[in-house]
Amino acid sequence: MKITVVGTGYVGLVSGTCFSELGNEVICVDKIEEKVNMLKGGDIPIYEPGLKELVQKNQAEGRLSFTTDLEDAVKKSEVVIIAVGTPSSESGAANMSYVYTVAEEVGQAIGSDFKVVVNKSTVPIGTAEEVKRIILEKNNTADVSVCSVPEFLREGSAVSDTFNPDRVIIGTECERARKTLIELHKPLTDQILLTDVRSSEMIKYASNAFLATKISFINEIANICDAYGADVVDVAKGMGLDDRIGPKFLQAGLGYGGSCFPKDTKALIHLAEEKAYEPQLLYAVKDINDRQYQRVIHQLNGIFGEDTKGLKVALLGLAFKPNTDDMRDAPSLKIIEEVTELGMEVVAYDPIAIERTQELIGDKINYAKNVTETLQDADVVILVTEWDEFKQLSPAAIKEQVRRPVVIDGRNVFDPNQMKEAGFIYHGVGRQV
């Protein structure tokens, strides 16, 4: 199948590359010439395990190409996938300007042959209809079906998530488009759910909001565990053994970050409010998440009193989660903001996200080259991201470097008993057993 993918961000680049690996002819389009040239050269602008090799392989084998020429790409393709960003605007609503600009450009290029246009970006309910209206406004002879096939890939495991999805949702009203999209996605999974377009758009928001709810729920339980001396790790394990609950997404921590959950919960709240519905549960999910990082500040105050000025903080991890250099809505940024305001000095280390952090906050903090350097003479260690490298640290190895044996473990990576036996003041999340 001949496919154009517009947008070479996480979703666009990964799905375009994976579709080419399945034998389709894929043209990836991006407005940014620099990015296109980089991709043509076989380099990728994001950190994603396994992706670079696939981009290089499929380009070399002639199934994958990159261009800034949207018109030419659309003319050559049967399927056009829109995978541009829908960032949060001030109000919390998704900013749809990129999607709508692409719709206009597709409308100008589309001609009169039948084409299937697919929204893969996370978009407000009703977007497919709006995209179709814009396309027809530009070309009223266009023979087009606009569908919704939301993407559920996670950063850090995007390639394997795309090849092994739990399900593919195809939202369409048109039989011809349905057939095309089933054929395109069949090699990925047998679990294809066919819905109307609006339900498909809603499935993406509802799924992300539900996962965000699970995280805020377990964080709330963790905070109550702390007050009563229960261990949230055991509590989550015990809950997760119930098939109806399941063990995933019940890791208490410093809250969810990244490019999707914060943005999508806000956008869903906004969609509800636009129809005069107050989504009380979603308000609470967002509120708990907005506050969760502050437990680190309370713990610092609990340990050191109000006098935290001049304390040396060793910050382990910057990225919003392991295996990515993505800093969008990373809890580390909020923690850095507050502890530096309180006069503390921060030395941070992350296996890959230091460059991205420097672009955002420059020299507000110091950056170390490795874990040992980070820990040296620290008054307190704060673990923010659960990289494997940090999980392997022994209490003895930490103790050797630090000035004071104090660990605030924001991702419950260490064993509280081992830490206490080694003489540490140790605070996890929901583990004050």
By CB under 6 A, the residues from 154 to 193 that bind ligand UDX are: 154-155
According to CB under 6 A, which one of 257, 351, 410, 416 is a site residue for ligand UDX?
257
Helix ranges (DSSP H) in 22-174: 33-40, 51-60, 70-76, 97-109, 127-138, 158-163
* Residues contacting ligand UDX: total by CB under 6 A: 20
Q: Is there binding between residue 321 and ligand UDX (CB under 6 A)?
A: yes
- Closest CB to ligand UDX among residues 145, 332: 332
Structure tokens at 212: 């965000």
According to CB under 6 A, which one of 107, 258, 351, 430 is a site residue for ligand UDX?
258
Radius of gyration of the chain measured on its C-alpha atoms: 24
Q: In degrees, to the nearest 5, what angle opens at C-alpha 396 toward C-alphas 394 and 398? A: 75
**From the CB of 251, what's the least distance to ligand UDX, in Å?**
3
Q: Is 348 helix (H, G, I), strand (E, B) or coil?
A: strand
Give 87's contacts (C-beta < 8 A, 6+ positions apart). 94, 95, 263
According to CB under 6 A, which one of 249, 283, 364, 404 is a site residue for ligand UDX?
249
Q: Is there binding between residue 153 and ligand UDX (CB under 6 A)?
A: yes
Give the binding range for ligand UDX (CB under 6 A) out of 96-104, 238-246, 256-264, 336-344.
Answer: 256-264
Is there a contact between 252 and 430 (Cβ–Cβ < 8 Å)? yes
According to CB under 6 A, which one of 152, 205, 387, 414 is a site residue for ligand UDX?
152
According to CB under 6 A, which one of 253, 395, 410, 430 is a site residue for ligand UDX?
253
**Residues identified as active-site:** 260
Q: Cα dist. 87→94, 162, 287, 294, 300 in Å? A: 6, 22, 20, 25, 33
According to CB under 6 A, which one of 19, 98, 256, 349 is a site residue for ligand UDX?
256
Structure tokens at 11: 């979703």
Q: Helix, strand, coil shares of the chain as percentages rounded to 5?
A: 45, 15, 40
- Closest CB to ligand UDX among residues 156, 405: 156
Q: Is there binding between residue 19 and ligand UDX (CB under 6 A)?
A: no
Site residues for ligand UDX per CB under 6 A? 151-155, 208, 211, 215, 249-251, 253, 256-261, 320-321
